[in-house]
Chain A
Amino acid sequence: AQKITQTQPGMFVQEKEAVTLDCTYDTSDPSYGLFWYKQPSSGEMIFLIYQGSYDQQNATEGRYSLNFQKARKSANLVISASQLGDSAMYFCAMREVNTGFQKLVFGTGTRLLVSP
């Protein structure tokens, strides 16, 4: 069964510093996709970044980058130049590809607090 592990329940960072949120995954499928979502206190799920298992380069979206290490089965999110608005829960998720339905498997999340 596929599994996502986020070992950091909470992280603290000062404004303008970079922060790395850890995510490891376990799957036997050769084809999969990895996501990061942000959930602010308002509750909605905001898509941040996606990495496909066959992508050769690490994904980047503005201040977000995904440090994809396939051999280690890790997909860490790096936020550069943190902002106060980055304070939120962050979820790593994996998409099952080789099934009739592409469901998402989520980790337990990391709460990030950005201080001035």
Chain B
Amino acid sequence: NAGVTQTPKFQVLKTGQSMTLQCAQDMNHEYMSWYRQDPGMGLRLIHYSVGAGITDQGEVPNGYNVSRSTTEDFPLRLLSAAPSQTSVYFCASSYMDRAQTWGGYTFGSGTRLTVV
């Protein structure tokens, strides 16, 4: 099925470990982004990309790296996991049509990460 695929769905890390959250979309969307969701808060933007090779920081980028080597993939790397990074992570893709009209957001199903 077309959409945004996130893996893994669940992950437990020890403090200091590194890992990569995977995100792939098959809709040829130019924009991709990562959000985190913490209890009592809405989703907050971590990093985003406006196309292959172009990334930028969002609201809460510290402790995370991203790269966009292809249109389809946008992995999120945790360099040295900390308990404060325990959260649910969502990847989203979006696009603009030829009339420069927003074409909608598609969210992945989320990754629940626990850092102990």
Binding site for B on A (CB under 8 A): 4, 33, 35, 43-45, 47, 91, 93, 95, 97, 100-109
Contact = CB atoms under 8 A, between A and B. Distances in A.
A106 B107 contact: no
Interface residues of B, number: 25
Nearest to B58: A103
B110 A106 contact: no
A109 B31 CA distance: 25
Interface in B44-61: 44-45, 48, 50, 56, 58
Interface of B: 31, 33, 35, 40-45, 48, 50, 56, 58, 88, 90, 92, 94, 96, 102, 104-105, 107, 109-110, 112
Contacts of A91: 42-43
Contacts of A95: 102
Contacts of A47: 104-105
Given A43-B109, A93-B43, 7 more contacts: A4-B42, A91-B43, A101-B48, A101-B56, A102-B94, A103-B45, A106-B43
A108 B41 contact: yes
Contacts of A103: 33, 45, 48, 58
A106 B42 contact: yes
Nearest to A45: B107
26 contacts: A33-B102, A35-B105, A43-B109, A43-B110, A43-B112, A44-B107, A44-B109, A47-B104, A47-B105, A91-B42, A95-B102, A97-B102, A100-B50, A101-B31, A101-B33, A101-B48, A102-B94, A102-B102, A103-B45, A103-B48, A104-B35, A104-B92, A105-B42, A106-B44, A108-B42, A109-B42
For the complex of A and B, list the 7 residue pairs with the smallest distance between their C-beta atoms, beginning with the closest: A106-B42, A45-B107, A106-B43, A44-B109, A43-B110, A103-B45, A101-B48
B17 to A, nearest CB: 23
A45 B41 CA distance: 14
